[in-house]
Amino acid sequence: MRILIVTGTLAEESVRRYASESKREVDVMALPVSVAAFITPELASKALRAPWVRKYDLILLPGYVRGDVSRVEAAAGVPTFKGPIHAADLMVVLDMIDQIELSKTVPASEILKDELRRKAAAEIDRVNANWSDLLSRKGGMIIGSAGHEVPIGHAFPMRVIAEIVNAPTLELGTIPKLAHYYEAEGADIIDIGMLAGKPQPERIVGMVEAVRSATTRPISIDTLEPSEIEAAIDSGVDLVLSVDSGNMAEVASAIQDTPVVVLPSNMKEGRLPRKAEDRVGMLAQNIQKAMDLGMTKLIADPVLEPAIQPGLMESLTSYKLFRRIDETTPMLFGLGNVTELIDVDSPGVNGLLSALACEVGANLLFVPEFSAKARGSVRETSTASKMMFLSERKETVPKDLGIDLLILKEKRWREEPYERHLEEAIDVIKSRGYASVQMDMRGWFKIEVDRDDRMITAIHYPYERSDPDSLIKGADATEVYGTIVRRGLVSSLYHAAYLGKELEKAGIALRLGRSYVQDEDLFP
């Protein structure tokens, strides 16, 4: 296939460079327009209405070209489509051009991104839809009641348990909101986290009902207190976290067929072995003891510990050693002990820990969002779990899978080189600090973020009045400032520039999960 790529003069060099990295037979044609985005279908039609163009099998116009490029195809006599928006995406588009259906109205880079995402989701959906057959052939365990089952095992992505931390300290009305939030973030199981050393079995029924009112996901209870475990089982919880040699005899008759996590400890004696070999030995003993007591659905938790103190590597070794002696018992991997106790952005931490969990054969990922820095961890871990599952199935590294955790970083550099030569041709105006504040006679705005609705809000206060007269909400800065302009609520250029800055800053804070404070730096 011979392809002609059309671009503008400024992008010609970079387009040629990226196109040369593809194995396709590609030529590049720069039209007499500086910026590719200024190329119109009319201009391209005139330039490509020539007999020599028909030697090509395909023409790619810049993704920035507005409207439908069908008229260009009619003029050139060659199939014509929109290419990627950025030159950096050219190599990927060219390499996959036989696998995607190009469009005359949508940029190829958007189609490629959507197609990869769709294929990834479809593959995971197929696995989840065929869970019964996979479970019978490859083994595993069911958590949850009929119609709301969550299968766990090596044939499925690692399932995410989201903990409602310190649930008894929360108002009962808050619990359904958190359960709904975690389900929306990708949690497979909702956990009710109890308070160590402060048993409150009387609260269990109300909290379980509160979770059930908001989600159909299975419910787990996180406690070692026998009275709370028994109350939770009476309330119909689907999973118990946890038992060890210190409490399992007391709760064995209540648990029986309820899935339960087994720890390598005796917390009544405050004993958790540090060395990996000792920990695995104690875990194996506790599992055998639980089986002897009649518990039938056991999940092992070698316990992941914080980095450096006590030591992440030693606990990871425990997971690896346990999987060597037991290939079938499901295993829980508690990410929160690391994510919460390291001052590193959570997407990278959760992504890497999920990869390690997959390598050691874990099946459940336990995730709290206790601190501000850990917000978004459930979504990040759910995404990472799917990435690792696809990576393992495809026998490839976890990249280019259609889903990713790239939030602040990007795979390809899209920025065009700075036009430094212009400094020699035109005047360079040096900025001189901040502009003096000028009050807009139309009034002023208080910018806030509505986290529940995931929207930016701009509250308008008329000039010399203390009460607001309108509140404008939008999903992004463009929606909000567009409404402000249409309603004539801004009259000063300084004020308009300021609003644009603050609204976009609020939008970034919303997307990244950072706190937003008007007039303060987003990254102080």
Q: How far apart are CA 285 and CA 266, in angstroms?
A: 11
DSSP 110-172: HHHHHHHHHHHHHHHHHHHHTHHHHHHHH--EEES-TTS-EEESTTSPPEEEEEETTGGGS-T
**Beta-strand (E) ranges in 213-331?**
219-222, 239-243, 260-262, 298-300
The architecture of the domain spanning 2-113 is: 3-Layer(aba) Sandwich (3.40)
Q: How far apart are CA 458 and CA 502, in angstroms?
A: 10
What six digits make up the tokens of 401? 């899978």
List, run by run, the mean pLDDT of 10-residue segments along the chain (524 residues). 93 90 92 90 94 95 92 95 88 87 91 85 92 92 92 96 97 96 97 94 96 97 97 97 95 95 89 92 97 97 92 95 96 96 95 97 96 95 96 88 89 77 86 75 96 94 93 96 96 94 96 93 90
pLDDT on residue 415: 76
Model confidence, pTM: 0.83
The 3-state DSSP class for residue 220 equals strand
Share of the chain above pLDDT 90, in %: 77
Q: Any residues with CB less than 8 A from the CB of 314 and at least 6 apart, and which? A: 274, 275, 276, 305
pLDDT on residue 435: 64
Q: Are strands 150-152 and 141-143 parallel, antiparallel or unpaired?
A: antiparallel
pLDDT tens-place string over residues 191-237: 999 999 899 999 999 999 999 999 999 999 999 999 999 999 999 99
pLDDT on residue 436: 67
For 3, which DSSP code?
A: E
* CATH 3.20.20.20 segments of the chain: 130-394
Q: How far apart are CA 91 and CA 335, in angstroms?
A: 37
pLDDT on residue 391: 92
* CATH 3.40.50 segments of the chain: 2-113
- The overall longest dimension of the chain from CA atoms, in Å, is 87
130-394, CATH topology level: TIM Barrel (3.20.20)
